[in-house]
Structure 1
Amino acid sequence: MASIHKLLTGTCLHRNFLKPRAALHPFVGIHSADCSSSNPQKQVAPADRGSQQRKTEEGMQKHHHQEAAVDVTSPDKKPELSFDKAIRDEAMEHFRRLKDEIVAHMIGPEGRPLQEVLMEQARVVWQFRKKEDLDKWIVTSDKTIGGRSEIFLKLSKNNQSALLYGTLSSEAPQDGESSQSGYCAMISRIPRGAFERKLSYDWSQFNTLYLRVRGDGRPWMVNIKQDTEFIQRKSQMYSYFMFTRGGPYWQEVKIPFSKFFYSNHGRIRDDQRPLIVDKISSIGFTLADKVDGPFFLEIDFIGVFTDPAHTEEFAYEKSALISRLIK
């Protein structure tokens, strides 16, 4: 009987030490929850109770530290890296993308029915609603040649447009070679398919470039590059002007593809040729009006559409003699 009485008393004390007394009886008091009150012959001294509680808490903390030590990874152990696994995963990802391209091509562009695509009159190619939309573009300036112009691209406050802003400086770099400077540009990245293949945009069923912008009154050069050669020359492009009105109101800019003129290294070529709109690789915007100071251009979307009233095929004279001389 004595051993049973000691076992019951020890169990009650251990249970009381593990639970906070103030949480059990916040109004009655700490000593009112003592199980030893039912056994007046076996009273525990307050000092002994405090020392035993401290030992119990130290034991719990030691046990907690042991569990934490088990979960912590040793700094000497490094995660296993498998070069073969990385190559295999990369190849599987490219094959998955290739399969998606084939399926999309059989069903229709972007998974839509082919007849629906052929009947559409307008298409939004780029819009700016999230950070991933900005990642499709590159901004550059004359800083690449030592100039002082700066350009930045970010989303607007309401995440409904892109804000292109910066400072234009026509001060030539002090390198002893360059005599002109002062340009900022925004260029779309060339789309890539499986195995990093270059893709292109097919706008053959449209005849007009369509933009919704809001600027500060500066003129911008709109540049389109076509991918029709095995080795695409970076200096060759088609260009036309976009004049912003300034002010708080949006404006819709419509530029027919027939108005774009052929240029090389920023100079208009004598041998003009129409833009081939079924092999478009990228589009860009360049500011180089030689007016120093801040600028901004806000873009809602960039797309293409069909204008039934526009029947012009090419706005510039094509000379067969000039073409033969140049070739």
Structure 2
Amino acid sequence: MTLTFNNPGEQQRWYAVDDGVMGGVSESGFSVIKGEGRFHGEVSLENGGGFASVRRDPNGFEPTLADAQGIALTVRGDGRTYQLRLKSTSLDHASAYRVKFTPAQDRWETLHFPWSAFEAVRRGTLLSDAPAVTPSEIHQLGFLIADRTAGPFCLQISRIELLR
């Protein structure tokens, strides 16, 4: 199963969760423009903030998600480091599985992330005792930027696909 961004309605499935939940003033959004998804906004370090994220449920990937070996992203970046994040019923609601990546700025590239590449975190702290990713328990996926750098950002996403 592959998620592409040819349908402008895809934009409505994504929602932002930024550092405003803890007093920060970073802002982000998700747009679908010319066949690509764009996670964009501005990170601010004011008021103890410093992160921005967007999320969506994995509708469209079921039931194939349970059989996948991981996730591949076709992306183009802006020189900043991002995280692909997965929420799972095997972790508490404040925790997630993440993999960090810094995509090329000058070209599209496809990055492959097997489930073993993901690490469990809670508010940026690694959870050493967390279970490995169980694909059938993933109920949300998203992108996060928390690179301790203030300023605008834009991650371009052409496709999200499951590894077989």
CA change 1:189–1:294 in 2 (3 A) is same
1:151 and 2:28 equivalent?
Answer: yes
Correspondence for 1:242 among 74, 89, 101:
101
Tell me the secondary structure at the aligned position of residue 113 of structure 2: strand
CA deviation digits over 1:236-265, x for unaligned, max 9? Answer: 211111211212x11111111111112223
Q: Measure the CA separation in 2 of the matches of 1:275 and 1:296.
A: 28
**Structure 1 residue 130: Cα displacement:** 2.3
Tell me the secondary structure at the aligned position of residue 20 of structure 2: helix
Correspondence for 2:37 among 162, 168, 173:
162
Q: Measure the CA separation in 1 of the matches of 2:146 and 2:103.
A: 14
Q: Aligned AA for 2:83? A: M
Q: Measure the CA separation in 1 of the matches of 2:12 and 2:112.
A: 25
**Structure 1 residue 190: Cα displacement:** 6.2
1:160-309 correspondence runs (5 A) = 160-172=35-47, 180-189=48-57, 191=59, 202-228=64-90, 233-247=92-106, 249-306=107-164
Q: Cα RMSD (Å) of the superposition?
A: 2.0
Greater share of helix: 1
Tell me the secondary structure at the aligned position of residue 133 of structure 1: helix
Is contact 2:39–2:143 with CA below 8 Å preserved after alignment? no
Is contact 2:81–2:101 with CA below 8 Å preserved after alignment? yes
- Percent identity for Structure 1 against Structure 2: 23
Is contact 1:235–1:266 with CA below 8 Å preserved after alignment? no
Q: Measure the CA separation in 1 of the matches of 2:123 and 2:40.
A: 24
**Structure 1 residue 168: Cα displacement:** 0.9
Q: Measure the CA separation in 1 of the matches of 2:37 and 2:9.
A: 12
Is contact 2:18–2:52 with CA below 8 Å preserved after alignment? yes
- Compare CA radii of gyration and give the structure with the larger one: 1
Q: Which runs of 5+ in 2 are unaligned?
A: none
Is contact 1:202–1:280 with CA below 8 Å preserved after alignment? no
**Structure 1 residue 181: Cα displacement:** 1.2
CA deviation digits over 1:10-29, x for unaligned, max 9? Answer: xxxxxxxxxxxxxxxxxxxx
Q: How many residues align?
A: 163
**Structure 1 residue 279: Cα displacement:** 2.1
CA change 1:201–1:240 in 2 (3 A) is farther
CA change 1:201–1:145 in 2 (3 A) is farther
Q: Aligned AA for 2:98? A: S
Tell me the secondary structure at the aligned position of residue 9 of structure 2: helix
Tell me the secondary structure at the aligned position of residue 147 of structure 2: coil
Tell me the secondary structure at the aligned position of residue 21 of structure 2: helix
1:137 and 2:5 equivalent?
Answer: no
CA change 1:139–1:273 in 2 (3 A) is same
Is contact 2:10–2:32 with CA below 8 Å preserved after alignment? no
Q: Aligned AA for 1:286? A: L
Q: Measure the CA separation in 1 of the matches of 2:97 and 2:161.
A: 17
Q: Measure the CA separation in 1 of the matches of 2:92 and 2:68.
A: 25
Tell me the secondary structure at the aligned position of residue 143 of structure 1: helix
Structure with the greater relative contact order (CA < 8 A, sep ≥ 6): 1 or 2?
A: 2
Q: Measure the CA separation in 2 of the matches of 1:265 and 1:294.
A: 22
Q: Aligned AA for 1:287? A: I
CA change 1:161–1:210 in 2 (3 A) is same
**Structure 1 residue 201: Cα displacement:** 5.1
Greater share of strand: 2
Q: Measure the CA separation in 2 of the matches of 1:215 and 1:201.
A: 30
Tell me the secondary structure at the aligned position of residue 203 of structure 1: helix
Q: Measure the CA separation in 1 of the matches of 2:121 and 2:65.
A: 21
